[in-house]
Amino acid sequence: RGDRSSCGSTDQGAGDLWLMSDLRELYQEVILDHNRSPRNFGPLEGADLRADGHNPLCGDRLSVALKVEDGLVTDVRFEGSGCAISKASASLMTERIKGQTIDEARALFDRFHRLLTDQTAPTDDAALGKLAVFAGVRDYPARVKCAVLAWHTLRAAVDDNHELVSTE
């Protein structure tokens, strides 16, 4: 593992190209772990809200389904296929928003989106917690769409928007 960052990354998939520096090794661990064993992955019986998302640039496809009671997200799961970043992002998102209110989930979308698209946004925003591992993605615009896909899909679900979400 220790050799990988020093010997370059030419043999890694395109999705891992941004994960090159030692500084990002910890982030890489979190993302690879969630890619290998995604949390809350699979169908959700009796979902109240759902939406489908597509990132044509990379080919990521995700569905997000939620159960909501009194404005609280009591369960959330995702399905689909995509690159490591899109899958890890969806996994971390579901982990994070379960038990939150819909309003809190929307606020997290805004913070996460800002982290990935605004070069001046702080990368250590405490409110984001573990989601801050994606801060490194913002230097790679093509990967940003992978990381935000799950969140755009989540927002469509809570808006009860049934059109296919596209990052394009």
User: Which residues bind to Zn ion, rule: CB under 5 A?
Assistant: 58, 60, 83, 86, 146
Q: Which run of H or E residues covers position 35?
A: helix 25-36
Nearer to Zn ion, 68 or 94 (CB): 94
Nearer to Zn ion, 51 or 58 (CB): 58
**Residue 87 and residue 93: Cα distance in Å, rounded?**
10
Nearer to Zn ion, 19 or 146 (CB): 146
Nearer to Zn ion, 52 or 60 (CB): 60
Do 56 and 164 touch, CB atoms closer than 8 A?
Answer: no
**Residue 21 and residue 86: Cα distance in Å, rounded?**
20
Q: Least CB distance from residue 98 to Zn ion, whole Å?
A: 23
Q: What is the spatial order of strands in the sheet that 60-69 belongs to? A: 72-81, 60-69, 49-55, 165-166
Q: Least CB distance from residue 95 to Zn ion, whole Å?
A: 19
Q: Least CB distance from residue 60 to Zn ion, whole Å?
A: 4
Q: Least CB distance from residue 69 to Zn ion, whole Å?
A: 32
